[in-house]
Chains A and B, each alone.
Chain A
Amino acid sequence: MPADAPRLHFVSDEIGRGAGPGPRHGGESNVKLRDNDHVVGYVFAAPFILGFLIFTLYPIFSSLYYSFTDYNLFESPRWVGFDNFEKMFTADDKYWKSVSVTLTYVLASVPFRLAFALAVAMMLNKAFTGIGLYRSAYYLPSLIGGSVAVSIMWTQVFGDHGLVNSALALIGIHTDTSWIGNPSTALWTLIALSVWQFGSSMLIFLAGLKNIPNSYFEAASVDGANAIHRFFKITLPLLSPIILFNLIMQTISAFMTFTPAYIISRGEGGPLDNTLLYSLYLYRRAFQFYEMGYASAMAWVMLLVIAVIALVLFKTSKYWVHYEAKGER
């Protein structure tokens, strides 16, 4: 009898699982482990979880710590309390210059970019052969726009004898001032470079526009709505979730813009610090002057500002973003 019992289990187990024979205990725990959702889930998610802990979470807190220290990379960090923040807010003119340059950049480039993206998307929301060609032409700048090659090209397009000045000469405006070297226009060449890359937002809007049933517009037309009414009462509300998404992502990436400012000003942020975007100033503080503590403090201020902006956009979105499931607003 005692010898029979395990045998019985073995048989019933085999039937129950319908699997081939094997060592009972090993087999069962193995199967259990292999099919346990928690184990499998963590095995599959492991790359992200490990990467998040090592390359994101640890650095976030580590930079919070550095922001309260004086740290030059070669000696260990020295605790200085709020000194970095105090210096930043009260004694660093360059810091405030870079804040104002960055805000100008963000507030000008993001709205223009989204407005262009929406306008062109509406123009391209048609079906005819060859529309793909137009779409590609508008998208191409956004595809290659982040590259160093394009930033270099931009320095020449707006250079003293560049494309823009040469085109202006054609219509009788002769100037050989470099737009990049001129302190009052330098930042606007960066803004132009950013607006020029509206293509990816345009594609997102285009996908959104295609989702609006044509019958809405037809019904509105029958009721006597003109194009302006249709835009403000149908297109804009139905696109508003996509606009919110674009607005948040584009604002964040505008705040982080680095490469074009670095290339166009040759790493200096000039002329007269007029292209000293926040990320560029942070990079200079950290990796040219080795003030890691100060740069970390700058990074944390930026993180908080972006978090507040994102939060405000989300919170106010209920007043202007239309979600269909809720019906009227």
Chain B
Amino acid sequence: MAAGKTMHAPASGVRAERRARAFSAKPIVYHVLVGGLALVMIYPILWLIASSLKPNDEIFANAYSLIPSRFAWENYVTGWRGFAGNTFATFFQNSLLISVVSTIGAVASSALVAYAFARIPFAGKGFWFSCMMMTMMLPHDVTIIPQYVLFAKLNWLSTFKPVIVPQFFAVPFFIFLIMQFIRTIPVELDEAAKIDGCSKYGIFFRVVMPLIVPALITATIFSFYWRWDDFINPLLYLNKPELYPVSLALKLFLDGESLNNWGGMFAMATLSLVPILIVFLFFQRYIVEGISTSGLKG
């Protein structure tokens, strides 16, 4: 837009205009507006973190403030104690176990399926591909009850299996993401490997796999997020407190007798976001690319 305007200026006036722009208010207005709105956006998150460090009686006294009168680290101690003999060590362990195992299954299986869809002309491929696209848009409310009945019949209730096992059967969003990536790899590479005597399996593991690592990283990050944040599946299937992941355990702060431990609640809520924020800091590029190229929801 700026470039469009300078085009009108006669060549001799360019320098004058550039000098004028150095003093113009436009960039300041822009930064005040965009920066101010950005601050409003992240203020609740900063407030969550600040509240986790405020003494209990101070959190709602001057709620808008971000600065605690003293750092109440004891919130993290009282929050960590957890509920009914289960500390947050247990809950974090459960979350980590669920997220890591599910993610390995989801990414590995999705990569295999993506290769089939992107590169192998097999009978019925179009049909299965449209099944996949439909699954992507299917409201899970329709499948949740029969799945529950199925897992109940298998005697899987109150185990991690109903939460983890379905992830090993490929996730449509990741199939789609990895497919898009495989399509950018020149087919000539596959063909060269084939001439050298490589089977389709060999091509996948030796040629394609090393080249799709960035897509695999993106899928890994999103899978980890989604499993870490997952609430409905643990709510349905993990009915014993010793099996609770962090997401489910946080809910207990809102129940009954623990209702007054605001500091502890804010502390554990903050802690539950730490893994996500760390991954975000280090892998931001993959996240932004993943969303931009395939429309993965964050």
Q: Which of A's residues lie within 8 Å of B, judged by CB?
A: 18-19, 34-35, 37-38, 40-52, 54-60, 62-63, 66, 73, 120, 123-124, 132, 134-150, 152-157, 159, 161-163, 165-167, 170, 196-197, 199-200, 203-204, 206-207, 214, 217-218, 220-222, 227, 230, 245-246, 248-249, 252-253, 255-256, 258-259, 262-263, 266, 278-279, 282-283, 286-287, 292, 295-296, 298-300, 302-303, 306, 310
Report A283 CB to chain B, min CB distance, Å.
Answer: 8
Contacts A149-B272, A299-B145: A214 and B297 contacting too (C-beta < 8 A)? no
Residues of chain B with a CB closer than 8 A to A206's CB: 292
- Contact between chains at B145 and A149 (CB < 8 Å): no
- Contact between chains at B291 and A141 (CB < 8 Å): no
- Contact between chains at A40 and B169 (CB < 8 Å): no
Report A276 CB to chain B, min CB distance, Å.
Answer: 14
Report B273 CB to chain A, min CB distance, Å.
Answer: 5
- Contact between chains at B109 and A47 (CB < 8 Å): yes
Report B112 CB to chain A, min CB distance, Å.
Answer: 5
Residues of chain A with a CB closer than 8 A to B297's CB: 142, 200, 249, 253
Pull 24 A–B residue pairs with CB atoms less than 8 Å apart, ordered by A.
A45-B112, A47-B169, A51-B166, A52-B132, A59-B142, A63-B143, A63-B145, A136-B280, A139-B298, A141-B41, A144-B229, A144-B273, A147-B247, A149-B48, A153-B44, A156-B266, A165-B63, A166-B64, A167-B64, A197-B298, A203-B291, A245-B295, A259-B232, A299-B144
- Contact between chains at A137 and B41 (CB < 8 Å): yes
- Contact between chains at B60 and A162 (CB < 8 Å): yes
Residues of chain B with a CB closer than 8 A to A256's CB: 139-141
Within 8 A of A (CB), among B158-214: 166, 168-170, 172, 175, 197, 199-201, 204
Within 8 A of A (CB), among B109-145: 109-110, 112-113, 115-117, 120-123, 125, 128, 131-132, 135, 137-145
Q: Which of B's residues lie within 8 Å of A, judged by CB?
A: 1, 3-5, 7, 30, 33-35, 37-39, 41-45, 47-48, 51, 60-64, 109-110, 112-113, 115-117, 120-123, 125, 128, 131-132, 135, 137-150, 152, 166, 168-170, 172, 175, 197, 199-201, 204, 225-226, 228-229, 231-232, 235-236, 246-248, 250-251, 253-255, 262, 265-266, 269-270, 272-273, 276-277, 280, 284, 287-288, 291-293, 295-298
Q: Identify the interface centre among A55, A135, A227, A248: most chain B CB within 10 Å of its CB.
A: A55
Residues of chain A with a CB closer than 8 A to B204's CB: 44
- Contact between chains at B3 and A218 (CB < 8 Å): yes
- Contact between chains at B146 and A35 (CB < 8 Å): no
List the B residue with the shortest CB-CB distance to A61. Answer: B146
Cross-chain contact of B145 among A137, A217, A292 (Cβ < 8 A) = A292
- Contact between chains at A246 and B295 (CB < 8 Å): yes
Report B117 CB to chain A, min CB distance, Å.
Answer: 7
Complex Cα gap A243–B270 (Å): 34
Contacts A140-B41, A157-B44: A147 and B273 contacting too (C-beta < 8 A)? yes
- Contact between chains at A142 and B254 (CB < 8 Å): no
Report A47 CB to chain B, min CB distance, Å.
Answer: 4
Residues of chain A with a CB closer than 8 A to B248's CB: 148
Complex Cα gap A9–B4 (Å): 74
Complex Cα gap A43–B119 (Å): 13
Cross-chain contact of B150 among A18, A59, A230, A296 (Cβ < 8 A) = A59
Residues of chain A with a CB closer than 8 A to B120's CB: 37, 40-41, 44
Complex Cα gap A282–B295 (Å): 28
Contacts A170-B64, A203-B291: A48 and B41 contacting too (C-beta < 8 A)? no
Residues of chain B with a CB closer than 8 A to A34's CB: 199-201
Complex Cα gap A66–B149 (Å): 11
Residues of chain B with a CB closer than 8 A to A300's CB: 142
Complex Cα gap A230–B1 (Å): 10
Complex Cα gap A56–B170 (Å): 12
Report A138 CB to chain B, min CB distance, Å.
Answer: 6
Contacts A138-B38, A147-B272: A44 and B115 contacting too (C-beta < 8 A)? yes
- Contact between chains at A222 and B7 (CB < 8 Å): yes
Residues of chain B with a CB closer than 8 A to A137's CB: 38-39, 41-42
Report A65 CB to chain B, min CB distance, Å.
Answer: 9
Complex Cα gap A123–B34 (Å): 8
- Contact between chains at B298 and A217 (CB < 8 Å): no
Complex Cα gap A152–B258 (Å): 14
Residues of chain B with a CB closer than 8 A to A303's CB: 138-139, 141-142
